[in-house]
Structure 1
Amino acid sequence: MTSPDAGARGGNGAARRGAGLRLALTTLTVLPVRPGPVDRAAAAGAMRLAPAVGALVGLGSGAVLVAAAALTGAPLVAGGLAAGAAVLLTRGLHLDGLADTVDALGSYRRGAAGLAVMRQADIGPFGVAALVLTLLVQAAALAALAGRSPLGALAAAAAAGAAGRLAAGFACRRGLPAARSDGLGALVAGTVGPAALALGFLATAALAVPAVPGRWWQGPVAVAVALAAAVLLVRHAVRRFGGVTGDVLGAAVEVAVTVTLVGLLPR
């Protein structure tokens, strides 16, 4: 017989998982989900579920890619529309973080001075260049992937979306501090343990396998390289600013998505 205390613990666990899922969906997508509690427990759950949410965003982008390629016969147009769909599905949140992070890094300022640059409302030349380059590379890579089977194109887009959000999880791994005491970075910093990261990598690598027919290893390698690039970026940001911020998480997402897409290109 289940004790009342065990039932309460199970209910609390289900409630925490539900809060984490709602936070992941409301933060990482435009889906009209009713918001739930926003605390460290929910943040930890959200970051653990982020790769799954990223895969859903990637599937949406991949569906646009496949449909647009079939309707227009123009891979570059399809790639541009697919990249735009990913921006719409995420409200451009990660691109905004990328621009702010690159502006702050490009200012060569450290600590609080660098964080002040990151918080400015306008986008500087470094940030604009990062946005243009990132979107161009993503659109071109998606265009190249449009020639694959629908399954391969969908798998590639989903794997890239999952890898990007897993990179945010690596930026929130235990031991990395937040750069500020407020904001998204302070809420999620240090909330993800090694088991969740390992499981997320295995799932994302498996998702990437069918993205490259006949070269089963290329997908997992692309995911691993993308995560390594994001980890290096986060490490550099932590040295410069003293910790992670929400903008740094967004930058890690976009770097990992872009590197994964390029790594999945036909050889």
Structure 2
Amino acid sequence: MRAVRRIREARLALMLLTRLPAGSFPEDPPALPESRWAWPLVGLVTGASSWGVFALAGALGLAPGIAALLVIGAGVLLTGGLHHDGLADSADGLWGGQSPERRLEIMRDSRIGSYGVLALILTLGLEWQALGAAGAVVGFPGFLLVGVASRLAMLLVSDLVPLARGDGLGASARGAGGLEVWWPGALALLVAALATGPGALWALGVMAALTLGVARLARAKIGGQTGDILGAVQVLTGLAGWLALAAAH
């Protein structure tokens, strides 16, 4: 029964963080916080999928830059742009309001502003270049590393940073921490890092520093984290990982 429950929780994590078909829960679905342990493992799925697109593009003779752009497009389709939407909303809110209340109000607005547009352009452009430079060098393990670590960063912020408000996805996913929540993602990250090689340590350090920076900024600007902040953490730490891997190689 425990294994069945874990499978259901992992399916819920896949449904939450991707648009991949994962079945349905006709009755008694797991509570959202119970799926948090599987968030980093979703990174194994997205990382493997991204590598598959990159490898296929290379096998067809496409240049690394074109392959990288195809990977980014496939990633957006795979996640439904969920995390990028969080990044855009966070950029608009954190820099577009004069008080925490106003910033949170802006982040709730479905419309995108100039800060959000610029954040997306800069982030996607940098990721395109970094992925094109490092993708073929780090190979399959590097894609897994970035996928797992960026979602482990989401879990870290969700668990350790207070809520900015009592509703929304950030609040719904909040739950108790503990070894049971952390060890699956930590184990997956360790294996991916060892397979990636020396550049992994540098990449993880940069990703950890950026996670801390975003968390501190969110606390200063709005008092804590929201679902949008979690999405921004995933996108920005993923970008940081690729930039670090490109610099290391």
Corresponding residue for residue 67 of structure 1: 56
Corresponding residue for residue 115 of structure 1: 104
Amino acid at match of 1:177: P
Q: Secondary structure at the match of 2:111?
A: coil
Structure 1 position 258 matched with structure 2 position 239? yes
TM-superposed CA distance for 1:115, in Å, is: 0.6
Structure 1 position 160 matched with structure 2 position 149? no
Corresponding residue for residue 179 of structure 1: 164
RMSD, aligned CA = 2.1
TM-superposed CA distance for 1:172, in Å, is: 1.3
Partner Cα separation in structure 1 for residue 198 and residue 226 of structure 2: 33
Runs of 4+ aligned residues of structure 1 deviating over 6 Å after TM superposition are none
Partner Cα separation in structure 1 for residue 71 and residue 111 of structure 2: 26
Corresponding residue for residue 84 of structure 2: 95
Partner Cα separation in structure 1 for residue 114 and residue 198 of structure 2: 38
Deviation sequence 1:66-107 (CA, Å, 0-9, x none) = 111221331110010011111111001000000100111111
Amino acid at match of 1:109: Q
Corresponding residue for residue 194 of structure 2: 209
Q: Secondary structure at the match of 1:121?
A: coil
Task: Please say if residues 170 and 192 of structure 1, whose CA atoms lie closer than 8 Å, have aligned partners that are also in contact.
Answer: no
CA distance 1:78–1:239, change in 2 (3 Å): same
Structure 1 position 249 matched with structure 2 position 230? yes
TM-superposed CA distance for 1:15, in Å, is: 5.0
Paired positions, count: 246
Partner Cα separation in structure 1 for residue 141 and residue 18 of structure 2: 19
Partner Cα separation in structure 1 for residue 216 and residue 9 of structure 2: 26
CA distance 1:198–1:222, change in 2 (3 Å): farther
Task: Please say if residues 164 and 252 of structure 1, whose CA atoms lie closer than 8 Å, have aligned partners that are also in contact.
Answer: yes
TM-superposed CA distance for 1:194, in Å, is: 5.8
Task: Please say if residues 88 and 117 of structure 2, whose CA atoms lie closer than 8 Å, have aligned partners that are also in contact.
Answer: yes
Structure 1 position 227 matched with structure 2 position 208? yes
TM-superposed CA distance for 1:173, in Å, is: 1.3
Task: Please say if residues 204 and 223 of structure 1, whose CA atoms lie closer than 8 Å, have aligned partners that are also in contact.
Answer: no
Q: Secondary structure at the match of 1:244?
A: coil
Task: Please say if residues 206 and 220 of structure 1, whose CA atoms lie closer than 8 Å, have aligned partners that are also in contact.
Answer: no
* Mean CA deviation greater in 223-232 or 194-203: 194-203
Task: Please say if residues 36 and 181 of structure 2, whose CA atoms lie closer than 8 Å, have aligned partners that are also in contact.
Answer: no
Deviation sequence 1:35-71 (CA, Å, 0-9, x none) = 34556xx333322111111121011011101111221
CA distance 1:164–1:146, change in 2 (3 Å): closer
Partner Cα separation in structure 2 for residue 217 and residue 202 of structure 1: 18
CA distance 1:34–1:126, change in 2 (3 Å): same
Alignment of 1:121-140 (within 5 A): 121-140=110-129
Corresponding residue for residue 78 of structure 1: 67
Amino acid at match of 1:185: G
Corresponding residue for residue 19 of structure 2: 30
Partner Cα separation in structure 2 for residue 196 and residue 228 of structure 1: 22
CA distance 1:80–1:108, change in 2 (3 Å): same
Structure 1, gaps ≥5 residues long: 1-10
TM-superposed CA distance for 1:257, in Å, is: 0.6
TM-score by length of 1: 0.84
Corresponding residue for residue 189 of structure 1: 174
Partner Cα separation in structure 2 for residue 193 and residue 44 of structure 1: 13
Partner Cα separation in structure 2 for residue 239 and residue 16 of structure 1: 38
Task: Please say if residues 37 and 180 of structure 2, whose CA atoms lie closer than 8 Å, have aligned partners that are also in contact.
Answer: no
Amino acid at match of 2:33: A
Partner Cα separation in structure 1 for residue 40 and residue 69 of structure 2: 23
Partner Cα separation in structure 1 for residue 21 and residue 127 of structure 2: 26
Structure 2, gaps ≥5 residues long: none
